[in-house]
Structure 1
Amino acid sequence: MSLEKMIRETPLWRPCGFPFWSRNITLVCYAEDLPAIGDIVGDAITRLCKAVLLVDHDTTSPRELRSATDGAGAAIPIDSLRKLPSLINTDIVFFGKAFEYKKLVSGCESIQHFGFHSFFVYMPIPYNYGITTTHIPDYLADNRKNLEFAYALLEDEESKRIFAARIRAIITGNIGYIRLSRFSEYYHPLVRPQAGDIILDGGMSSYIEPQLEFCQTIGDAGHLYGFEPEPNGFNKALAQIQARPDIANFTIVPLGLWEEDTTLQFTVMGPGSHVGLGGEGAVVDCRMTTIDNFVREHKIQHVSLIKLDVEGSELQALRAGIETIMAFKPRLAISLYHLPQDLYELPFFIKTLLPDCKFYLGHHHPSLHETILYVLPE
């Protein structure tokens, strides 16, 4: 199927809005957002909504919801999200009183976990908020040949559908078109960490849950080298790993991956800290190295997997990793969502290094974040 036809056929998975025409709505939210439901949706909620399911439901959660104005009207039962699989005759709405990145991720992932991939999102998602909702109407028209070539490199139909869905989200500005993968991030069925792997992980931040999962997967025979150049993020990550004496196969490196050994200025934005000035974060100096220099200096005898999520510096890191990639032919998991051109430039570059490799695509976030290129060398 051609790329343009695939784009036209991309369904709208998560419409932004509230289906006021429905008469059987199940609202999904977090407990702290309960008081805002009546204020934002209005008293119509008591007529339209049949149940409220809490992502964070526990024994202290309220058991029912009533009108925000006078407490009158029918009570809406409140229950756990675990009840969702039995409610296939309802419109599902994920509700949030304000835009919160983590809630959007965890809420949508929770609903998807129970088998529902199409539902409404009623949250004030900002428009053109960085790369969260980037809107480039002429993206396809301006880059058609490059995008068609990259599309043709993808190995399977699912990867091509994810690729087309991302383009449709970009050209319309509607992130509801994004197609979410049905496997965990970095765990593509064919390209994933395995027992005994030696992993180079570029771009950690202080949130190290993915790295801890890597460590469990690779076991004692494997080793993970995680790179975090931003000092505050490094110190927080180091403190967490030092509190885990059961994890002995994880080395945290206070360096970033770049195209040369140097010192660069970073804008500090937590997990989004990146090379260069811009944004509202503070600016700090960060030390950088290259994949090839690190492997050479530490006498690493084999590299099984390279994961890069370095906030738009993926191509620079790969350019200085050619020796390692050519020698060991590792599996690759590369973020290609930070810059518009990443969607085609990164596959093109890797193809020149590994002409016989196979490309797969995954997407793991209900906005434009976390599109991952999975590369399987021959």
Structure 2
Amino acid sequence: MNLETHIHSARLLRSWDIPDSARQVCCIAMREDLALLSSFIEERPQNKVRLLLVPDLPAGGPEYVRFSGRGGVAAIPIRGLQDVEKAANLEKVILCRPGAPGAAATAMLCRCLAACGVRGVYLYSGQERGFGVQRPLPDFYDQHAAKLQKVYDLLADDAGREAYAGRIKALMTGEAGYLPLSAHQEYYHPLVRPEHGDIMLDGGVSDMVGVQMQFAQSVGETGRIFGFEPMPDMAAIAKKQLESFPQYHLQTAGLGESSGQARFTCLRDSSRIAASSDDENTVLCQMTTIDDFAQKHHLGRVHCIKLDVEGAEMLALAGGRKTILKHHPKLIICLYHTPSHLFDIPLFIHELVPSYTMYVAHSSCLFTDTILYAHS
């Protein structure tokens, strides 16, 4: 299958448009989202709820839940997710809060359902669109077809090609529901991940360091991680939280194409290089390159590089040419900050080291978290 055919055949796996023809439905929700069930029943009487699945249903919980609505009193069987086979002939509707918390819970539920053989679901949040929607780029494939096809041909497995085609379809339609969710965790592809004893460069930290703690546990006491966070306030908070991991060494600096200084704009939970130096809401930050840092700190080996640097991934890779050529480290690079990165980053890596094997995977119900994994 070529890429264009794959894009056109991509399925909408998570849709906000619940059809009136879905007469018999199974609603799926975490306990904290069960309040949405009553509004769903009230708003959509044409979609009769025949079963409710609650993954975190406590042992000894109720067997039925009752709701009063326009159609009278409804007694709906309530079961755990292990009984999903009872919904084999019902359309699946996930009840989810809007925004990032709802997206995270939905991703978890979708993975559980996929493990049971269920891929396509509908979503309901009480709003028209709860998350995973953005301005479409309908001409994206036509404008970049040759480069996109070249990357597609470089990908090593069917799962990566499906994720890549799904990403393009999502960009063209503005619907993140076309993106298939990986079975593995973000940054942890089965073949490309931080491992015990690795020396790792971690580009992009912020002050939310749960992932960094996991990286530290993965490399263990014999490994070392050098993290890079340009914003001084965020770096100070992150350093404090990482004190119990002596193998993690956080640098108050960003990664770029050259060492020196650059202005950064502070975002809600991260930062990015400022679009204009005239912007008053910026902070002057220190910058280094992968190559300069590796040379200065006499890194005899670099096993893994992860880059999630808010759109500066190409600059950071350009500043790491020598290190990548010398060590052929595992690469974990975010592709989602800029549409052109979907082809620019893989082609840059392939031209630099043609022996790299590449995979693509996506791990959220949002447009974020599409990642390129590469090893040589």
What TM-score, normalized to structure 2?
0.87
Aligned residues of 2:16 and 2:129 also touching (Cα < 8 A) = no
Give 2:39's aligned amino acid. D
Q: What does residue 151 of structure 1 align with?
A: 152
SS across alignment from 2:213? helix
In the superposition, relative to structure 1, how do residues 161 and 77 fare at CA in structure 2: closer, same or farther (>3 Å)?
Answer: same
Which residues in structure 2 correspond to 1:55-66 (within 5 Å)?
57=57, 65-66=65-66
Query: Is contact 1:312–1:338 with CA below 8 Å preserved after alignment?
Result: yes
Task: Name the CA distance, whole Å, in 2 between partners of 1:91 and 1:331.
Answer: 41
The answer to whether the 8 A contact 1:65-1:75 is kept is yes
Indicate conservation of the 8 Å contact 2:180/2:362, yes or no. Answer: yes
Contact in 1 for aligned 2:139/2:172 (Cα 8 Å): yes
Instruction: Report how far residue 233 of structure 1 moved.
Output: 2.7
Q: 1:249 is matched with which residue: 236, 247, 257?
A: 247
Tell me which amino acid in the other structure corresponds to 1:265.
R
User: Are the aligned partners of 1:268 and 1:281 in contact in 2 as well (CA < 8 Å)?
Assistant: no
SS at match of 1:27: strand
Cα 1:181/1:315, change in 2 over 3 Å: same
Residue in 1 that maps onto 2:261: 263
Report the residue type matching 1:303 in the other structure.
V
Give deviations 1:117-174, integer Å, cap 9, x for gaps.
Answer: 32112234759x9x96341011011111111122122122221121111111111222
Partner of 2:343: 344
Tell me which amino acid in the other structure corresponds to 1:361.
V
* Alignment map for 1:93-112 (pairs within 5 Å): 93-97=93-97, 99-112=98-111
2:317 aligned partner: 318
Contact 1:146 1:344 in 2 (8 A): yes
Distance across 1 between alignment mates of 2:347 and 2:177: 28
Q: For each residue in 1:283-324, what CA deviation from the matched residue of structure 2 results, as whole angstroms up to 9, or x when unmatched? A: 333322111111122222211000101111000001111111
Which residue does 1:179 correspond to in 2?
A: 180
C-alpha change, 1:71 and 1:87, in structure 2 (3 Å) is: closer
- 8 Å contact 1:255–1:288 — kept in the other structure? yes
Q: Does 1:362 align with 2:364?
A: no
SS of residue paired to 1:42: helix
Q: What is the aligned length?
A: 370
Give the alignment of 1:1-20 within 5 angstroms: 1-20=1-20
Question: Which residue number in structure 2 is paired with residue 372 of structure 1?
Answer: 371
Correspondences of 1:1-378 after superposition (within 5 Å): 1-39=1-39, 41-42=41-42, 44=44, 48-54=48-54, 57=57, 65-67=65-67, 73-78=73-78, 80-81=80-81, 83-84=83-84, 87-97=87-97, 99-114=98-113, 115=115, 116-123=118-125, 124=127, 133-242=134-243, 245=244, 247-277=245-275, 283-377=282-376
Cα deviation for residue 253 of structure 1 reads 1.8
Report which stretch shifted further, 72-81 or 2-11.
72-81
1:206 and 1:63 mapped to 2: Cα distance?
43
Is the Cα contact below 8 Å between 2:230 and 2:252 reproduced in 1?
Answer: yes
- Say if 1:53 and 1:206 are closer, same or farther in 2 by CA, change over 3 A: farther
Amino acid at match of 1:331: K
Say if 1:20 and 1:48, in contact at 8 Å, map to a contact too: no
Going from structure 1 to structure 2, the CA distance change for 1:46 and 1:177 (only over 3 Å counts) comes to closer
What 5-or-longer segments of structure 1 have no aligned partner?
A: none
1:234/1:327 CA distance change after superposition, 3 Å: same
CA distance in 2, matches of 1:293, 1:168: 39
Residue type at the aligned position of 1:351: H
In structure 2, what is the Cα distance between the partners aligned to 1:186 and 1:121? 26
What amino acid maps onto 2:248 in structure 1?
F
User: CA 1:285 to 1:84, structure 2 compared with 1: closer, same or farther past 3 Å?
Assistant: farther
CA contact (8 A) 2:133 2:175 kept: no
Percent identity over the alignment is 32
| Matched residue type, 1:14 | R
Distance 1:41 1:282 in 2: 46
Q: What amino acid maps onto 1:190 in structure 2?
A: L
Equivalent residues of 1:267, 1:281 under 8 A apart? no
Taking only aligned residues, the RMSD between alpha carbons, in angstroms, comes to 3.0
Q: 2:303 is aligned with what amino acid?
A: S
Do the aligned residues in 1 keep the contact of 2:26 with 2:91 (CA within 8 Å)?
Answer: yes
User: In structure 2, what is the Cα distance between the partners aligned to 1:286 and 1:62?
Assistant: 56
Contact 2:25–2:47, Cα closer than 8 Å, also in 1: no
- State the SS of the aligned residue for 2:73: coil
Residues 269 and 281, structure 1, Cα contact 8 Å, conserved in 2? no
Letter in 1 for 2:319: A
Q: 2:138–2:171: 8 Å Cα contact kept in structure 1?
A: yes
Mark the CA change 1:325 to 1:78 in structure 2 (over 3 Å): closer, same or farther: same
Alpha-carbon distance in structure 1 between the residues aligned to 2:321 and 2:47: 62
